Amino acid sequence: MFFGSGNIVFPLSLGRVSGDMWAFAMSGFFLTAVLVPFLGLMAIVLLKGDSKKFFNIITLSAEYLGSKMGIKNQLPSMIGSKLSAALQLFIISLIGPFGVIPRCISVSYGSYKYVDTALPEYIFAGIFIIVLLLLTFRQDKIIPIIGKFLTPIKFSLILLLIILGLYWAPSTNLPPCNAFNSFSSGAMNGYNTMDLTAAIFFAAAIMSFFRNTTKNTSENLLKDGFAACVIGAGILSAIYICFMYLGTKYANLICNAPEVEILPIIAQHALGPAASVAFSLTIVFSCLTTSVALTICWMDTLKSLNILENTPYFIKLIISLAISYFIAVFLGFGKILGIMGPILQYIYPVLILMTIAHIFREYSRTIQS
């Protein structure tokens, strides 16, 4: 669910420009693309999968400030709940139809275009959206399919590419780079994956799946949730390290390539033209998997916030995917990233503080009980 467009593009791109300081770039990237998102996952696990509670800290803060100011009516609570709902909607919009889903479409097309230049982007995006519509219409069966079938296939192909890519990697003299600049660039690119925002909503879906498919006690559900966090963080970290190192080894080959075409170029060099087609489709597959999960989270949030509650599910789904289609076709990866980057610089620190506050609060309650 996590391994989508940014998770493919950013570590490779960072490796390309980090030179001999790629380990510092990886450290910064690890901080914001692995550690912070999985702290977010742990926070939602401690909240027993209720992502709405994550944002309710704003309501509690407003009530606390109201009491300190001597306001005894319900106004602080009302303002806090409205702000909480607004922030929740804004964030899911960014990782849903207004941001990450269009970005997934753009990365998918950039990869596919490398092996087939004849298909226009607007047609490719239309096919992607139709497949996404079919997969998300029956969302109750999606999480088991992602976990049991799609993810193992995806990671097996990625592992094969990493092994063969490193084996056939050309010898490269790594240029000297600045350690601090590499670290800060890694941290900023980790922001751009938007995995903390995704984690807040993905964790709720994962915990719901655990709850519905097992008969575990609440304590065992927490253990399962934490185990999933640790395993997921370990797998992603290993892939990021390998991808970043691939970027450094192939830096001369991919120095002028668009970000979305880096992995197909490496695949073609390591495996030949025929195999590069398969790996371009793997990227499409990865982005589609993430888009499915994000679309489900978006639709669930609309339902929980009672937005367009009188509109049928299918109509809301079509409207949402149509928005993603037009943003992907008319803006593309670069412009989407340019719009979202400044927003994330302000939102991420707030979400990190909220995450840490929830972990301390819920962990203290667990210890006391």
Q: What is the pLDDT of residues 239-248, one digit of tens each?
A: 899 999 988 8
Q: Report CA-CA distances (Å) from 24 to 10, 27, 103, 129, 228.
A: 15, 5, 27, 38, 27
Q: What distance in Å separates the CA atoms of residue 121 and residue 126, rounded to the nearest whole number?
A: 8
Q: 369 falls in which pLDDT band (50, 70, 90)?
A: low
Quote the percentage of the chain above a pLDDT of 90. Answer: 12
Range of the domain at 301: 5-368
CATH number, domain with residue 26: 1.20.1740.10
Q: 216 falls in which pLDDT band (50, 70, 90)?
A: low
Residue 262's pLDDT is 82
> For residues 277 and 263, is the Cβ–Cβ distance under 8 A?
no
Q: Average pLDDT for residues 229-243, to the nearest whole number?
A: 86
* Residue with the larger pLDDT of the pair 185 and 268: 185
Residue 321's pLDDT is 94
The per-residue pLDDT for range 58-93, each reduced to its tens digit, is 887 787 787 777 777 777 778 888 888 888 889 889
Q: 319 falls in which pLDDT band (50, 70, 90)?
A: very high
Residue 212's pLDDT is 67
Q: What distance in Å separates the CA atoms of residue 130 and residue 165, rounded to the nearest whole number?
A: 33
pTM across the whole model: 0.81
Residue 235 in this model has a pLDDT that exceeds 80: yes
Residue 1 in this model has a pLDDT that exceeds 60: no
Q: Of 306, 281, 338, which is closest to residue 131 (Cα–Cα)?
A: 281
Residue 271's pLDDT is 74
Residue 127's pLDDT is 94
> For residues 106 and 268, is the Cβ–Cβ distance under 8 A?
no
Token pair listed for 124 = 């490719």
Number of structural domains, the chain?
1
Q: What distance in Å separates the CA atoms of residue 169 and residue 285, rounded to the nearest whole number?
A: 25
Lowest mean pLDDT segment, chosen from 25-39, 84-98, 221-235: 221-235
Task: Please name the residues in contact with 133: beta carbons below 8 A apart, sequence gap of 6 or more.
Answer: 317, 318, 321
Q: Average pLDDT for residues 9-13, to the nearest whole number?
A: 87
Residue 318's pLDDT is 93
Residue 322's pLDDT is 95
How does the average pLDDT of the chain come out, rounded? 82
Residue 3's pLDDT is 65
* Residue with the larger pLDDT of the pair 47 and 123: 123
Q: Of 15, 353, 54, 48, which is closest to residue 198 (Cα–Cα)?
A: 54
Residue 317's pLDDT is 92
Q: What distance in Å separates the CA atoms of residue 286 and residue 280, rounded to the nearest whole number?
A: 10
Q: 135 falls in which pLDDT band (50, 70, 90)?
A: confident
Residue 77's pLDDT is 78
* Residue with the larger pLDDT of the pair 147 and 86: 86
Place of tokens 């707030």: 350
The per-residue pLDDT for range 282-296, each reduced to its tens digit, is 788 888 888 888 898
Q: Average pLDDT for residues 349-365, to the nearest whole number?
A: 84
Sign for the pseudo-dihedral over CA of 66, 304, 351, 181: negative
Residue 26's pLDDT is 92
Quote the percentage of the chain above a pLDDT of 70. Answer: 88
Phi, psi of 250 (to 5 degrees): -105, 20
